[in-house]
């Protein structure tokens, strides 16, 4: 495919409620989520590449690739009753088969959206069923090892299907954990029969630029939720978690991150729309308008958590173009 005039080619478009995606390209993958946007200005998330991109499809998945990274989108409508857990399991096996067969075997970042995340069935809620199915797929592929797990987010949509979109690479990134938090894959059994299979972040060197893809981060210290019923205190705890993760990565990976100032993109999931204005105001005060901020209404995996934030931190060593870039 020919590159656009600005030198970038589209890898994927992520569409949130109420916005029709403007496709740029022949078969650019599009993830259509069931999450409603908060705020007056509707936005579309666009992932772009400074390298030429080829597009493909495998059953329910559309994907793009540029020789270094692969971006894929999967939608599965079979989400009712007992079919939900099996759908998650099969979807993850399909993703793992795809990235391996295409030569991009290292998952860096995964996003998971599905409705009714808190709905219970036989004593387990849907998030716990999701975690069990995802863990089964990873265990079938990798065995019992937790090395190489991708960073991830999993939030509840108010409508729609099981939607998974993901970034994979030909060469691995580095799994990062947060010293303030128990690794999710080591959570005690009170949170479900299988611990969540994700890393707190993935660190990746793209030539002269360092990127940290940070998972959905909540007001959790150790493995316990903090500050119930207080969205402002939860936000402050989240920022402490994000700062600690970035700072430890800077030291241990010898990356030139500058704490929270290295964040370039934020995606904020808010349970109650009534909390949006206060959260947006505080984040604008902290980061200013230069940091991309996308606000979405979503159900969080624990009932006492009111918001969750994911981020991308970047340390630019030169003016060279990036090969994995997101804009909104």
Instruction: Give the pLDDT confidence of 171-210 residue by residue, as tens digits.
Output: 999 999 999 999 999 999 999 999 999 999 999 999 899 9
Q: What is the predicted pLDDT for the residue at 3?
A: 43
- Among the ranges given (16-20, 205-209, 262-266, 283-287), the one the predictor scored with the smallest mean pLDDT: 16-20
Q: What is the predicted pLDDT for the residue at 2?
A: 38
Q: Which two tokens stand for residue 148?
A: 């190489």
More confident of the two residues 144 and 96: 96
- In-domain check, residue 233: yes
CA distances in angstroms from 136 to 88, 132, 133, 238, 288, listed in the order given:
10, 6, 5, 29, 42
Q: What's the CA gap between 25 and 83, in Å, rounded?
A: 34
More confident of the two residues 66 and 1: 66
- In-domain check, residue 3: no
The arithmetic mean of pLDDT across residues 15-29, rounded, is 66
Query: Does pLDDT of 33 surpass 80?
Result: yes
- In-domain check, residue 245: yes
First and final C-alpha spacing in the chain: 22
Number of domains observed in the structure of the chain: 1
Query: Does pLDDT of 299 surpass 80?
Result: yes
Per-residue pLDDT tens for 110-160?
999 999 999 998 889 999 999 999 999 999 999 988 998 999 999 999 888
pTM, to two decimals:
0.93
Query: Does pLDDT of 1 surpass 60?
Result: no
Q: What percent of the chain has pLDDT over 70?
A: 91
Report the length, in residues, of the chain.
328
- Residue 143, domain CATH: 3.30.1330.40
Q: What is the predicted pLDDT for the residue at 13?
A: 94
Q: Which two tokens stand for residue 75?
A: 């939608």
Angle CA 192–194–199, to nearest 5: 110
- In-domain check, residue 287: yes
- In-domain check, residue 135: yes
Beta bridge partners of 307: 270
- In-domain check, residue 4: no
Query: Does pLDDT of 322 surpass 50?
Result: no
- In-domain check, residue 1: no
Q: What is the predicted pLDDT for the residue at 324?
A: 55
- In-domain check, residue 18: yes
- Among the ranges given (27-36, 167-176, 297-306), the one the predictor scored with the smallest mean pLDDT: 27-36
Domain that holds residue 314: 9-327
Q: Which two tokens stand for residue 233?
A: 């205190």
Per-residue pLDDT tens for 258-275?
999 999 999 999 999 999
* Mean confidence (pLDDT) of the chain: 91
Q: What is the predicted pLDDT for the residue at 27?
A: 77
Beta bridge partners of 311: 214, 266
Query: Does pLDDT of 82 surpass 80?
Result: no
Query: Does pLDDT of 220 surpass 50?
Result: yes
Cβ atoms within 10 Å of 64's Cβ, excluding its own = 24
């Amino acid at each position: 495919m020919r590159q656009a005039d600005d030198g970038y080619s589209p890898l994927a478009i992520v569409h949130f409620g109420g916005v029709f995606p403007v496709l740029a390209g022949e078969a650019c993958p599009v993830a259509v989520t069931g999450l409603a946007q908060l705020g007056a200005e509707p936005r579309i998330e666009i992932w772009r590449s400074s390298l030429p991109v080829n597009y493909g499809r495998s059953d329910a998945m559309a994907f793009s690739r540029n020789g270094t990274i692969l971006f894929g989108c999967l939608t599965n409508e079979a989400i009712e009753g007992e079919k939900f857990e099996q759908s998650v399991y099969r979807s993850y096996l399909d993703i793992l088969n795809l990235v391996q067969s295409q030569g991009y075997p290292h998952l860096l970042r995964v996003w998971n959206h599905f409705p009714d995340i808190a709905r219970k069935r036989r004593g387990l809620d849907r998030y716990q069923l999701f975690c069990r199915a995802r863990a089964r797929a990873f265990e079938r592929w990798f065995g019992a090892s937790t090395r190489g797990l991708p960073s991830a987010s999993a939030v509840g949509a108010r409508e729609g299907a099981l939607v998974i979109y993901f970034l994979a690479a030909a060469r691995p990134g580095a799994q990062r954990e947060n010293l303030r938090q128990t690794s999710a894959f080591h959570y005690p059994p009170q949170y479900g029969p299988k611990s969540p299979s994700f890393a707190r972040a993935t660190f990746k060197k793209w030539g002269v630029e360092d990127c940290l893809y940070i998972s959905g981060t909540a007001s959790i210290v150790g493995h316990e939720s903090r500050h119930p019923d207080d969205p402002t205190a939860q936000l402050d705890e989240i920022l402490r978690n994000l700062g600690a993760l970035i700072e430890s990565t800077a030291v241990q990976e010898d990356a030139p991150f500058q704490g929270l100032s290295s964040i370039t993109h934020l995606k904020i999931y808010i349970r109650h729309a009534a909390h949006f204005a206060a959260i947006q105001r505080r984040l604008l005060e902290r980061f200013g308008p230069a940091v991309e901020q996308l606000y979405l209404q979503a159900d969080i995996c624990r009932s006492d958590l009111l918001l969750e934030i994911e981020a991308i931190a970047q340390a630019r060593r030169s003016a060279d173009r990036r090969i994995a870039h997101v804009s909104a």
